Amino acid sequence: MNFPRFAFNNVRRNSRAYMAYFLSSAFMVMIFFCFAVFVNHPEVEQIQLGKLSQAVMKIAEYVIFVFAVFFVLYSISQFLKNRRREFGLLLILGARPGQINRLIFIENMLIGMAAIVSGVASGLILSKMFLLFGTKMMEVQELPFYWPTGAIKITVISFLALFICISVFTLSMIKKSQALQLLKGGSAAVKKEPKVSWVWSFLGAVLLGIGWYALYMGRLTPVKLFIAAAAGIAGTYLFYSQISVLLIGWIKKRRTWVWKKVNLLWVSEMAYKLKDNARMLFLVTVVISIASMSAGVVIAMDEDNRDSYLDDPFVLRYYSTNESFVKEDLDHINRQLEAAGVVYNQFKVESINKSSSHRSLKYLSVMPLSIFNQIENAIGLNSIPLDSKHGQALLVYDAAKSSPVNVDKPIEIVLEGGKQVQIQGSVGSKALPYMGYINTNLLIVSDDLYKQLRAQEQRADTVYFYEVPAWNSGSLPDEASQEYRLGVDIGKWNEDHDHGNLLSIRSDGYIKLKLGTALFRFIGIFISLIFSFASASFLYFKLHTELSTDAAMYRALSKIGLSTAEMKKSTSLQIGLLFFIPIIVSTIFSLVVLAPILKMVYINSYYKPVLMAAAGFLALQMVYYFIVRAGYLRHLKRIMV
């Protein structure tokens, strides 16, 4: 038997151990190749957002490749660590260290080349479906199939270089070890009770607390975000290596429950598994957390975009900064709408900005009652009476937030310039941010009082709002809708005749952000699948390495009365905890981290997006769990007496 044949037989005999690693690597190659097919498509620049799609998918390729580097490096190092006894035996039988290195290199390259060939082949088969699925999700015109020579070259060269470099690098992990050391490295020593340091456990809890404090105390800054990330990552590792084992120890002290049926067996084993697999569980949690947070952000942006469109009653907003061209611009907009047979309402809204003496109302936009009465129906509010003689006012705030002040009884405030105003009540409106009042509240005063306040200011903000009742039916527009097509025409005209006045179009903003989030959602699905597949691969390999130890333990226990059903229950609980604890922890982390970040960009809905992303990962993890559990139990059943 020649040397390459010996290496091939080694891979074939260990196929069960290598399978998850091979499938994960092949899946990464396939997704990388499919993205390369899209990026290098000759017609991609002709579709809407084509250049953006190219740029984002190139970044996605880099992300996949960098992740593949760490995944392959970690996987190969674990394989080598668990084959140390085999290498020790080969050295005793006369193999030279150089031959061991050559064997490892050939084995790694065999798996790597098989993954590249399988990934590219499956990518070629699925590339047409990938292009069709991508254009459907992004709602752009379909891209035809082409023979992706460039994508094949990029994929093969990139991953071949990756496997060669990492295969050479990993040789340094065993080259200096002696035969006796290698033999000891593979032997199963008697397990000692896992030790826990109270100091490290306390430090882990403190680090997690620091991460929470950095996110929620005061204004969130990039420095605080970095501190939260660093403290959270370090705290997560200590949670698995120290705190979780401490919790298991606390559970073991509850003897009335632990000493029932198989509870003693799986609880005792869980302490060892958590301690032994702390690094792996930590990696899985970090990977799933990153993917879950990314998915949560995209889902939150998509939902916020939809809600923003539905809450915005105005199809057009024209901000006047150059009075010389206002009439000309408005006349053209009106003619365009009338020519299309659109029934519309136009509102001229004027307001001024004032600071006040109240600490919760430092900055206010002030509007006269007569103008407010014109737009009140459009923004979903009712008429209000105000006493001009007593300086009465109404506070309008963003309904997505709570009222900045309690107005159960009238509140006296002093506006900039010394004018005293009495706030009689407050009311929330979802439309307020879409009128331009994002970080401020709106104060409605009588016309007489407004004239007095206006006289103190050099200028006022003037905005022209257009409402089209027929387009506020609760349905969302697409690129074929009249609102979008007319908005695009008006927008192009405004760009060609730019006079310094700003035109904002509701449907245009909605469609552009919708296409952008669709692109990120499309890419995110495949990267999340890679992360999920890789995390399951980590768990599978760890369980496979522990299989012989568990088999010996269950065989011994079966001789003294442990039934197959009890073995199934104990094993299922242990495997389930290893698979689902990272999902629970990553979901909690995602909720904690995303809440302040999304609030910072005025997105208040974060529970639903994060839970939707977590549900997706949970569903995938359940599939992996049942597959791995079935194989594990099948092997253990064979050794039961």
Q: pLDDT tens digits, residue range 393-434? A: 888 888 777 677 777 778 888 888 888 888 888 888 888 777
Per-residue pLDDT, 50: 62
Mean per-residue pLDDT of the chain: 82
Per-residue pLDDT, 106: 84
Per-residue pLDDT, 176: 54
Nearest residue to 527 via CA among 19, 20, 30, 163: 30
**pLDDT for residue 195 is more than 70:** yes
Question: Is 172 within the bounds of a domain?
Answer: yes
Structure tokens at 289: 């957390």
Question: Is 183 within the bounds of a domain?
Answer: yes
Per-residue pLDDT, 46: 65
- Looking at residue 239, the DSSP 8-state letter turns out to be I
Residues 521, 527: Cα–Cα separation, whole Å:
10
How many other C-beta atoms can be found within 10 angstroms of the C-beta atom of residue 3?
11
**pLDDT for residue 184 is more than 80:** no
**pLDDT for residue 299 is more than 90:** no
- Domain limits for position 412: 315-505
Pairing relationship of beta strands 392-398 and 441-445 according to DSSP bridges: antiparallel
**Among the listed ranges 56-65, 185-194, 269-278, 426-435, which one has the minimum average pLDDT value?**
185-194
Question: Is 263 within the bounds of a domain?
Answer: no
Question: Is 486 within the bounds of a domain?
Answer: yes
> Is 123 or 381 the better-scoring residue by pLDDT?
123
Are 36 and 172 contained in the same domain?
Answer: yes
Per-residue pLDDT, 212: 92
pLDDT band with cut points at 50, 70 and 90 for residue 187: very low
Residues 342, 407: Cα–Cα separation, whole Å:
41
Question: Is 76 within the bounds of a domain?
Answer: yes
CA 354 to chain centre: 40
Amino acid at 5: R
Q: Which of 163, 188, 213 is the last residue of a domain?
A: 188
Q: Which of 474, 505, 536 is the last residue of a domain?
A: 505
pLDDT (mean) for 221-243: 89
**Among the listed ranges 205-214, 306-315, 511-520, which one has the minimum average pLDDT value?**
511-520
Are 7 and 145 contained in the same domain?
Answer: yes
Residue-wise pLDDT for 45-87, tens only, equals 666 666 777 777 788 788 888 888 877 777 777 777 767 777 7
E-strand ranges in 133-217 read: none
Per-residue pLDDT, 118: 92
Residue-wise pLDDT for 550-601, tens only, equals 888 888 888 888 888 888 888 898 888 888 999 999 999 988 988 888 887 7
Count up the domains in the chain and report the number. 2
Per-residue pLDDT, 182: 56
Mention every residue, 6+ apart, whose C-beta is less than 8 A from residue 276: 546
Q: Which of 172, 188, 204 is the last residue of a domain?
A: 188
Pairing relationship of beta strands 345-355 and 461-467 according to DSSP bridges: antiparallel
Question: Is 628 within the bounds of a domain?
Answer: no
Cα three-residue angle 236-246-195, rounded to 5 degrees:
100
Give the alpha-carbon dihedral of 196, 199, 201, 204, to 10 degrees: -140
Residue-wise pLDDT for 452-503, tens only, equals 888 888 888 888 999 999 998 888 888 888 988 998 888 888 888 776 778 8
Are 152 and 14 contained in the same domain?
Answer: yes
Q: Bridge partners of 368?
A: 445
Are 348 and 488 contained in the same domain?
Answer: yes
Q: Bridge partners of 442?
A: 365, 396
pTM greater than 0.85: no
Question: Is 39 within the bounds of a domain?
Answer: yes
**pLDDT for residue 190 is more than 70:** no
Question: Is 104 within the bounds of a domain?
Answer: yes
